[in-house]
Amino acid sequence: MLQLYRTLEQLAARKKRQKEREALGDKAPPKPVPKTIENQRIYDETTVDPNDEEVAFDEATDEFSTYFNRETSPKILITTSDRPRGRTVRLCEQLAKVVPNSHVYYRRGLALKKIIPQCVARDFTDLLVINENRKVPNGLIVSHLPNGPTAHFKMSNARLAKELKRKGKDPTLHIPEVILNNFSTRLGHTIGRMFASLFPYSPQFVGRQVATFHNQRDYIFFRFHRYIFRNEKKVGLQELGPRFTLKLRSLQKGTFDSKYGEYEWVHKRHEMDTSRRKFHL
């Protein structure tokens, strides 16, 4: 793990400060708040204010509105890139258990642009493509189907369910709850809604399963847990299901079309990675 080593001077300074604080007793000035990257984050002008009407109006009329108005319920197609290896295949299977109403299909060298009209014809709402490189899954494309946005992520640290240190069982067929943390900007909101629309709208609390998408510094961590309330102040969590981290690479307006599509947001390393305190999600 990462550790912090303090130099001798820092240790001495710390002791001195502690002594002064004790000496002053009640009159000591309040402890200064330590600076974290989240504290020092450069203010993003597209941060969503919860009371913003414009944003609310946009969200009522965007491509996910049919889901949030409960007009459609999600049906998901999971597939991979060509010739998937064992890890990717198993990850697909586990994802299919985690996400309700999802189907896994082998790619067999088909072009995505030809798959998509077929999916639309068969009433699929979302397409998930797990890209693979060197026997390891490394990318994820989420495409919302009728004509919705396509997000391309870089996937890393994908762990299968059996590799986690757990003694839990398999995920059941109950609809899980969804937790979306820290999606604060407009872009983050869109991505958050995209993830939310993968899961059916009303979760079955009996199942006690929760899928979490937690955004921290532009990395989205996906976890799948089963929870149990021990009393009203303590929860126990048991991790089932796969886990992976995603980093958004591009968001494109229509369905998948890498050459002629209109890109809403593309990660440009030289422009966007210059500051360590600036995040986009």
Partner 1 sequence: MQHDDVLWDVIGNKQFCSYKVKTKTQNFCRNEYNITGLCNRSSCPLANSQYATVKEEKGQCFLYMKTIERAAFPSRLWERVKLSKNYEKALEQIDENLIYWPRFIRHKCKQRFTKITQYLIRIRKLTLKRQRKLVPLSKKVERRESRREEKALIAAQLDNAIEKELLERLKQGTYEDIYNFPIHAFDKALEQQDEESETDSSEEEDEDVGQVEYVEGDEIDESDLSDFEAMDKLEVDGEEEQEHSSIAEEQEKETSISKGKTPVKGLARKKRPFVEIEYEQETEPSAKASST
Positions that interact with partner 1 (CB under 8 A): 2, 36-38, 109, 111, 156-157, 177, 179, 181, 205-206, 210, 212, 214, 216-219, 221, 223, 225, 227, 229, 231-233, 235, 237, 245, 247, 269
Q: For partner 1, which is the closer residue by CB, 81 or 190?
A: 81
Minimum distance of partner 1 from residue 252's CB (angstroms): 16
Q: For partner 1, which is the closer residue by CB, 75 or 280?
A: 280
Q: For partner 1, which is the closer residue by CB, 62 or 218?
A: 218
Describe the crossing of helices 186-196 and 53-61 by its angle, rounded to 10 degrees.
40
Q: For partner 1, which is the closer residue by CB, 56 or 237?
A: 237
Minimum distance of partner 1 from residue 42's CB (angstroms): 16
Q: Report the distance separating Cα 161 and Cα 73, nearest Å.
A: 27
Minimum distance of partner 1 from residue 106's CB (angstroms): 16
Q: For partner 1, which is the closer residue by CB, 63 or 242?
A: 242
Q: Left if phi > 0, otherwise alpha if psi is -120 to 50, otherwise beta: which for 47?
A: beta
Q: Residue count of the chain, please give it.
A: 281
Minimum distance of partner 1 from residue 235's CB (angstroms): 5
Q: For partner 1, which is the closer residue by CB, 79 or 125?
A: 79
Minimum distance of partner 1 from residue 8's CB (angstroms): 25
Minimum distance of partner 1 from residue 212's CB (angstroms): 5
Minimum distance of partner 1 from residue 218's CB (angstroms): 8
**If DSSP states are collapsed to H, E and C, what string results for the chain?**
CCCCCCCHHHHHHHHHHHHHHHHHHHHCCCCCCCCCCCCCCCCCCCECCCCCHHHHHHHHHCCCHHHHCCCCCCCEEEEECCCCCHHHHHHHHHHHHHCCCEEECCCCCCCHHHHHHHHHHCCCCEEEEEEEECCEEEEEEEEECCCCCEEEEEEEEEECHHHCCCCCCCCCCCCCEEEEECCCEHHHHHHHHHHHCCCCCCCCHHHCEEEEEEEECCEEEEEEEEEEEEECCEEEEEEEEEEEEEEEEEEECCCCCCCCCCEEEECCHHHHCCCCCCCCC
Q: For partner 1, which is the closer residue by CB, 76 or 115?
A: 115
